[in-house]
Amino acid sequence: MSIKITATSTCDLPPELLERYQITMVPLYVSFGGNTYRDGLEAGPEDIFRHVEGGGQLPSTAAVNIADYQELFEELSPKYDAVLHITIGSEFSSCYQNALVAAEDYSNVYVVDSRNLTAGQGLLAVEAAIAAERGDSIEDILKLLDGLIDKVDTTFVVDKLDYLAKGGRCSSVVALGANLLKLKPCIVLADGKMTVGKKYRGAFDKVLPDYVRDQLGGKDVRTDRIIIVHTRCNPAIPAAVEQVVREYGFQEIIHTVAGSTISCHCGPNTLGILFIRK
């Protein structure tokens, strides 16, 4: 049975993984400077940061629209026994709803709400692709994903809350206070929503080892794969985080840079470790 795995660009998987598992990325939209661009194809995170640092307003993001999905499914549906599309969490975008509408015309297209974002969504896409490679049926893959969604552990630490404040995710007063006190909040994804967890105090690079140990220590974690995702960090920072992650015996440690959609909301110097619990 041939099964094609697709995912919205918010999965933030590196190109080598998309190629290895033949996952098709479906771009969201980012608008700034009077123009609209396809995430990852026509605009990247550095375009976002340059625009904002140059005095521009925070870019806006938009979901994959129904017409885009219809075009995608029309192309892929005849080529495969099943097409599985994994979207960014429906709490964050209307991609899931739009994909469901477009999929109504295709009996072999299946849409899954990851209830996640960035590499947490990406981990689910990889799991689906591996299952498809070993010959699992579409029904078994859907059941697999249903059991994994709540086991994906997605957290990240934000250096400054400026972008979250600009995007209305937190107040400017809270952002100013956190910056003055050098607080680095850990953002936790739970039940499809973002909440604030532990607040670390100190320089961004100095608090990350504690963050990693807090996330991995004492948890029953699958050690086959972990993803370190970041937005415009000094290369030494994710490298140092990897050294701490290695203490926990992961077989595969993947590095990736968040795309323009995620970067619009987090800003530079954001880093997270994402994995699946047993």
Query: pLDDT tens across 215-265, in order?
Result: 999 899 999 999 999 999 999 999 999 999 999 999 999 999 999 998 988
Q: What value does the mean pLDDT take over residues 203-215?
A: 96
pLDDT at 1: 73
pLDDT at 169: 46
Query: pLDDT tens across 87-102, in order?
Result: 999 999 999 999 999 9
pLDDT at 161: 73
Measured between alpha carbons, how far is 229 from 263 in angstroms, rounded to an integer?
A: 11
Q: Which residue has the tokens 């299946």?
A: 110
H-assigned helices in 14-62: 15-20, 45-53
Strand partners, 198: none
pLDDT at 213: 97
- What is the edge-to-edge ordering of all strands in the sheet holding 253-257? 193-201, 183-190, 152-158, 270-277, 221-231, 253-257
pLDDT at 265: 83
Q: Are strands 29-32 and 35-38 parallel, antiparallel or unpaired?
A: antiparallel
Amino acid at 115: R
Handedness of CA 181, 186, 191, 193 (dihedral sign): positive
pTM of the model: 0.93
Cα-to-chain-centroid distance, residue 130: 19
* CATH topology identical between 3-150 and 151-277: no
Q: What's the pLDDT band for 272 if we cut at 50, 70, 90?
A: very high
Three-state secondary-structure class, residue 34:
coil
pLDDT at 174: 39
pLDDT at 197: 84
pLDDT at 173: 32
pLDDT at 195: 82
Q: Percent of the chain beyond pLDDT 70? A: 92
Domain boundaries, the chain: 3-150, 151-277
Strand partners, 155: 188
Q: Decide if pLDDT at 66 tops 70.
A: yes
CA distances from 62 to 39, 78, 268 (A): 10, 28, 20
Pick the CATH number of 151-277 from 3.40.50.2000, 3.40.50.300, 3.40.190.10, 3.30.1180.10: 3.30.1180.10
Q: What's the pLDDT band for 126 if we cut at 50, 70, 90?
A: very high
- 3-150 CATH fold: Rossmann fold (3.40.50)
Query: pLDDT tens across 138-195, in order?
Result: 999 999 999 999 999 999 999 877 766 554 444 333 333 345 346 788 988 988 887 8
Q: Which two tokens stand for residue 55?
A: 């005095």
pLDDT at 89: 97
Query: pLDDT tens across 108-122, in order?
Result: 999 999 999 999 999
- Other Cβ atoms less than 10 A from the Cβ of 104: the count is 10
Strand partners, 248: none
Measured between alpha carbons, how far is 227 from 110 in angstroms, rounded to an integer?
A: 26
pLDDT at 102: 98
